[in-house]
């Protein structure tokens, strides 16, 4: 997959002074990893705000620092949700020749016949799976085609997912990713959950 390139500069500002960087349009970050000295850096905030939301935990990123390209994964993000902006990023430096473990997101695609024919509800049980691969072989996401869900009760398991042979799935292969569930069952379960509330309300009325 293609690598996104983000320019960075080393920073000496830390602690409370980091706020000054943010006010100057810079996004503080750090690059760390086995065999790589932890390095505080800053990114151009506007450019980063355009690129980072498009990336996943398994997206290969190239950090350009001091004329060198450092391959990384985005490991942790801090965000101001009121302003909808990043406040700090942790990047994991990679050895492209060493396999790594990463979390890959699962995206549902297609139309399930069970929804059209039996008014089923499509319930996604897993949002992501763990895989092992070389950094350059990591998929940014895995598509899960729900068109195979013909009837209520049909499901797709981890073992049914289609991935490149260079990618090893570490998540339990028998785990269910998505299932076509009866909407009647879902409504019944919701009603059962409200029964204790009705009983409790009846007790309070009797006490009064």
12 neighbors 4 (Cβ within 8 angstroms): no
Residue with the bigger pLDDT between 13 and 153: it is 153
Q: 64 and 119 share a domain? A: no
Residue 49 lies in a domain: yes
Is it the case that residue 202 has pLDDT exceeding 70?
A: no
- Owning domain of residue 55: 4-94
pTM of the shown model: 0.80
Is it the case that residue 85 has pLDDT exceeding 60?
A: yes
Q: 89 and 141 share a domain? A: no
pLDDT at 172: 98
Q: What is the CATH number for 50?
A: 2.40.240.10
| Spatial CB neighbours of 99, under 8 Å, sequence gap ≥ 6 | 132, 133, 134
Among left, alpha and beta (phi > 0; psi -120 to 50; other), residue 117 is: alpha
Q: What is the CATH number for 191?
A: 2.170.120.20
- In degrees, to the nearest 5, what angle opens at C-alpha 155 toward C-alphas 154 and 160? 130
Domain boundary among 46, 65, 94: 94
Domain boundary among 66, 94, 122: 94
Number of domains, the chain: 2
What distance in Å separates the CA atoms of residue 43 and residue 11, rounded to the nearest whole number?
10
Domain boundary among 49, 77, 94: 94
Q: 90 and 116 share a domain? A: no
Q: 70 and 120 share a domain? A: no
Q: 25 and 51 share a domain? A: yes
Across the chain, mean pLDDT equals: 87
The band of 16, judged by pLDDT with boundaries at 50, 70 and 90, is: confident
Q: 69 and 52 share a domain? A: yes
pLDDT at 55: 93
> DSSP strand E in 11-99: where?
26-33, 36-44, 61-65, 68-80, 85-93
Q: 14 and 105 share a domain? A: no
Residue 208 lies in a domain: no
- Neighbouring CB atoms inside 10 A of 157's CB total 16
Residue 163 lies in a domain: yes
Is it the case that residue 197 has pLDDT exceeding 90?
A: no
Q: 29 and 78 share a domain? A: yes
Q: 63 and 124 share a domain? A: no
Q: 118 and 169 share a domain? A: yes
Q: 169 and 116 share a domain? A: yes
Residue with the bigger pLDDT between 63 and 34: it is 63
Residue 68 lies in a domain: yes
Q: 29 and 66 share a domain? A: yes
Is it the case that residue 201 has pLDDT exceeding 50?
A: no
Residue 10 lies in a domain: yes
> DSSP strand E in the chain: where?
4-10, 26-33, 36-44, 61-65, 68-80, 85-93, 100-109, 121-124, 128-133, 141-145, 155-157, 168-169, 176-181
């Amino acid at each position: 997959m293609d690598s996104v390139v983000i320019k960075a500069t080393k920073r000496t500002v830390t602690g409370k002074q980091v706020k000054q960087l943010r006010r100057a349009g810079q996004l503080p970050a750090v690059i760390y990893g086995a065999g790589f000295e932890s390095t505080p850096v800053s990114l151009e905030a506007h450019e980063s705000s355009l690129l980072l939301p498009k990336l996943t935990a398994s997206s290969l990123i190239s950090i350009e620092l001091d004329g060198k390209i450092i391959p990384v994964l985005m490991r942790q993000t801090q965000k101001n949700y009121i302003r909808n902006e990043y406040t700090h990023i942790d990047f994991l430096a990679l050895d492209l020749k060493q396999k790594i473990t990463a979390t890959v997101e699962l995206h549902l695609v297609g139309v399930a016949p069970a929804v059209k024919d039996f008014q089923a509800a499509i319930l996604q049980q897993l949002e992501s799976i763990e895989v092992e691969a070389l950094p350059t072989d990591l998929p940014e996401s895995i598509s899960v085609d729900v068109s195979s869900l013909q009837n209520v009760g049909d499901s797709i398991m981890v073992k049914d997912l289609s991935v490149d042979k260079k990618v090893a799935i570490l998540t339990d292969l028998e785990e269910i990713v998505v299932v076509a569930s009866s909407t009647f069952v879902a409504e019944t379960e919701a009603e059962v959950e409200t029964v204790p509330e009705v009983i409790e309300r009846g007790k309070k009325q009797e006490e009064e």
